Amino acid sequence: MSAWDYEVIIIGGGPAGLTAGLYAGRARLQALLVEKLIHGGQMMTTDLIENYSGFPEGISGPELSDRMRQQAERFGLEIVTGEVKALEPGDGGHAVVLEDRTLKAGAVIIATGARYRRLGVPGEETFTGKGVSFCATCDGALYRDQEIAMIGGGDSALSETLFLARFAKKIHLIHRRDEFRGAKYLQERVLGLDQVQVHWNTVVEEFQGDDLGLQALRIKNVKSGGIAVLPVAGAFVAIGISPNTEWLKGLLPLDRGGFILTDENMATQIPGIFAVGDVRAKKLRQIATAVGDGATAAISAEHYLQDLKQK
């Protein structure tokens, strides 16, 4: 046990990782959280969070993230910046391999989250950062009084359309089916906006533009086969997320989408390795469910370490 650098290492600093850190700290576990960039995860690109209980007026993503970090640090969580390259399980503890050093822990909690999916059509890469964006909160204000598009039909596309409606003159909301996937409440608000035009059963075939950036989208109605060209200055893609699990290199069983399989205690198939938040296979990916995962995993890790000590 003395060979461990930490009792628990948490990989990833979104709401699931920070809450795991808070609960680990309160359990008086010696815990380290490793975060690649800045803590907060996808919360950092969310302008206003209205569905996290306890904040009736909503709270900005960065502020909620900062509050979570402060709370976890108050109870002893250590946070460092670094990229985890691999995880090497072992009987005497698990090795967390960073770029410059390897740390050993009795338990590891994986909270590496997920990233934006791409459409994979011509022009998407070329115009990313020049009109094509995956973050309305980051880039929405660039399109004041302009015509833009949002692609997707889930909670992200709908909530980001509501945000973009503060700036844009017109928003083309492009969805591949005739029904949204996102919450009914968001649907009602989006469909009530005058400047939103929904293109049902429609896919983007190409992002078009020149050296200055995006100028238009070529879209196709999948029912009629009809093609149209929409003149837009910006296009936001919100078609879901892919889990950040490649670095695990096949270590753990994943579901078809690449998300880590766990039991209800957040345990993976390898004893002492847990997974929480968006990277985990589950139905609902929300801050509320991420923090629940984090709390559960920290307590599961505590029990696991107690059992180890008694052996």
For residues 305 and 83, give the distance between their C-alpha atoms in angstroms, rounded to a whole number. 25
Residues 230-259 that bind ligand NAP (CB under 6 A): 238-241
Task: Please identify, using beta-carbon distances, which residue of 87 and 239 lies nearer to ligand NAP.
Answer: 239
Residue found under tokens 């959280």: 33
Least Å from the CB of residue 297 to ligand NAP: 19
The angle at the Cα of 90, spanning 84 to 93, to the nearest 5 degrees, equals: 75
| Residue 222 or 299 with smaller CB distance to ligand NAP | 222
Is 135 catalytic? The answer is: yes
Among 181, 189, 218, 220, binds ligand NAP (CB under 6 A): 181
End-to-end CA distance of the chain: 12
Note whether 154 binds ligand NAP by CB under 6 A: yes
Determine the interface stretch with ligand NAP among 61-69, 78-86, 222-230, 279-287 (rule: CB under 6 A).
279-287
Known catalytic residue at 278: no
How far apart are CB 282 and ligand NAP at their closest, in Å?
A: 9
x/- string (CB under 6 A) for ligand NAP, residues 1-40? ----------------------------------------
Q: Is position 223 an interface residue for ligand NAP (rule: CB under 6 A)?
A: no
For residue 107, give Cα distances in angstroms to 79, 83, 273: 16, 18, 6
Q: What is the CA radius of gyration of the chain?
A: 21
Work out how close the CB of 6 gets to ligand NAP at its nearest, in angstroms, rounded to a whole number: 30
Gap between the Cα atoms of 39 and 82, Å rounded: 11
Q: Which of these segments, 131-139, 173-181, 217-225, 292-300, binds ligand NAP (CB under 6 A)? A: 173-181
Is-contact 237 263, C-beta < 8 A? no
Integer angstrom CA distances of residue 77 from 62, 72, 99, 308: 19, 6, 21, 22
Check residue 231 and report its DSSP letter. E
| Active-site annotation holds for 91 | no
Residue 156, C-beta contacts closer than 8 angstroms, at least 6 positions apart? 182, 238, 240
State yes or no: residue 51 binds ligand NAP (CB under 6 A). yes
> Of the two residues 240 and 258, which places its CB atom closer to ligand NAP in the complex?
240
The yes or no reply on residue 286 touching ligand NAP (CB under 6 A) is: yes
Amino acid letter, 106 = G
Q: Report whether 247 contacts 85 (CB < 8 A).
A: yes
Compute the distance between CA of residue 23 and CA of residue 300 in angstroms, rounded to an integer: 10
Q: Which residue is nearest to ligand NAP (CB)?
A: 154
By the rule CB under 6 A, 108 interacts with ligand NAP: no
Question: Which one of the listed residues 5, 47, 138, 194 is annotated catalytic?
Answer: 138
CB 30 within 8 A of CB 53: no
Q: Which residues contribute to the site for ligand NAP (CB under 6 A)?
A: 51, 119, 152-157, 159, 176-177, 181, 203, 238-241, 284-286
- The residues annotated as belonging to the active site are 135, 138-139
